[in-house]
Amino acid sequence: MTGEGAIFVFVGVFWLLGLIGLMAAIWVVYDVLAKQTKMDTTQKLIWILVALFLWLIGAIIYYLLVKREGKYEES
């Protein structure tokens, strides 16, 4: 692979990870605002900020700590 091809692959992977991270952040914001009805406003704000600043990592943390347990959702 030439140097130009390697750069093209690197840029493509970078954009793909960025797009996945953006979609994950949007999912967290939507889920916090629409489905977490028992969560108080301060916690919602914190999770939205985590999603906006940490994108994919924030979404993984949110899933592991909040979504998987379902403790703030209506039954």
pLDDT 10s digits, 11-23: 999 999 999 999 9
- Does residue 9 fall inside a structural domain? no
Q: Which residues contact 38 (CB under 8 A, 6 or more apart)?
A: 71, 72, 73, 74
* Domain limits for position 44: 21-75
Q: What is the pLDDT of residue 5?
A: 86
Average pLDDT of the segment spanning 37-59 = 96
Is residue 66 included in any domain, yes or no?
A: yes
What mean pLDDT is predicted for residues 14-41?
A: 96
pTM of the full structure: 0.87
The residue-averaged pLDDT of 5-32 equals: 95
Domain count, the chain: 1
Residue 11 domain-assigned (yes or no)? no
36: left (phi over 0), alpha (psi -120 to 50) or beta: beta
